[in-house]
Amino acid sequence: MAVSILHRATGIALSFAGLGVLTWWLWAIAGGTDSYATFAKVMTSPVGLVVLVGLTWSFFQHLLSGIRHLVMDTGAAFELGINKTFAILTIVGSAILTVLVWVYFLGVVK
Amino acid sequence: MSLGDSSTPIGKVRGLGSAHEGGEHWITERVTSIALLLLGVWLVASLLLLPKLDQRTIVEWLHAPSGAIPMALLIIIGFRHALDGVKVSVDDYVHEEGSRFVINLLLLFAAVAGGAMALFALARIAFGTLA
């Protein structure tokens, strides 16, 4: 099932790229304004933004499919119709949330 | 079932998953996932609600206990959950026992080192003096 594979792929992306960026971000903040400027420069470059948007999407996709897995761990939502609807909702939900977050970021934070 | 075999059905399948262990691991992964659901939403909401994302604003945010404590929990639980999650993939796809052991060992070291680095940076921010 596609959403199950997405859960694993986004989990691995968050584990390496996500925690890597988080650690570098904290390290850069702790280092002062100059080191933070370097971080901000890289992350607001086209490649940096693709990474950040990708991580935002990975976060929401993993969060929503994670909730789906928790529900399925209880033995619920295995019926074909419900299962498929739930899976599609995670994909639609993560896309909407990613767009909302970035519209807000790009609109409010310059 | 042959005569004299007194093991129960559950006893026959225990330890037969790809990792040959893992009941507690499975539970831990789910408990940390619920914690990260809260902490992840906290992080995204905080970043959205901060007036600016310059160095000074973030330092002030993480200097306060209301920022530093959830961030410390996010780091510790995040690295733990990542380690648990990646281990599942390694156990599923790496079949040779020696390689699997070495990869899982390297991942454990990487997670502990990464978590320590993130916590150290956070400590510098949280306990540093505000300029």
- What are the tens digits of pLDDT across the range B2-48? 567 777 887 777 777 777 777 888 899 999 999 999 999 999 999 99
What does A3-39 look like in DSSP terms, one character per residue?
HHHHHHHHHHHIIIIIHHHHHHHHHHHHH-HHHHHHH
Q: State the pLDDT at residue A78.
A: 83
Domain of B109, in residue numbers: 22-127
Instruction: Look up residue A91 and give its two tokens.
Output: 């994909």
Whether the pLDDT of residue B131 is over 70: the answer is no
Q: State the pLDDT at residue A110.
A: 47
Q: How far is CA A96 from CA A19, A34, A37, B10, in A?
A: 23, 35, 30, 43
* Residues B67-89 pLDDT 10s: 999 999 999 999 999 999 999 99
Q: How many domains does chain A have?
A: 1
Of all residues in chain B, the one with the smallest CA distance to A74 is: B30
Q: Do A63 and B37 touch (CB under 8 A)?
A: yes
Q: How many domains does chain B have?
A: 1
Share of chain A above pLDDT 70, in %: 96
Domain of A42, in residue numbers: 2-108
Q: State the pLDDT at residue B5.
A: 72
CA-based nearest distance B65→chain A, Å: 16
- Is B93 within the bounds of a domain? yes
* Residues A12-46 pLDDT 10s: 999 999 999 999 999 999 999 999 999 999 999 99
CA-based nearest distance A36→chain B, Å: 6
Is the minimum CB–CB distance between B125 and chain A shorter than 8 Å? yes
**What is this structure's pTM?**
0.89
CATH number, domain containing residue A7: 1.20.1300.10
Share of chain B above pLDDT 90, in %: 77
Q: State the pLDDT at residue B15.
A: 72
CATH number, domain containing residue B118: 1.20.1300.10
What SS3 class is residue B61?
A: helix
Q: State the pLDDT at residue B21.
A: 75
- Is B11 within the bounds of a domain? no
The per-residue b/e assignment along B91-121, b for 16 or more CB within 10 angstroms, e otherwise, is beebeeeeebeebbeebeebbeebbeebbeb
Share of chain A above pLDDT 90, in %: 79
Whether the pLDDT of residue A94 is over 70: the answer is yes
The interface pTM score, or ipTM, of the predicted complex is 0.92
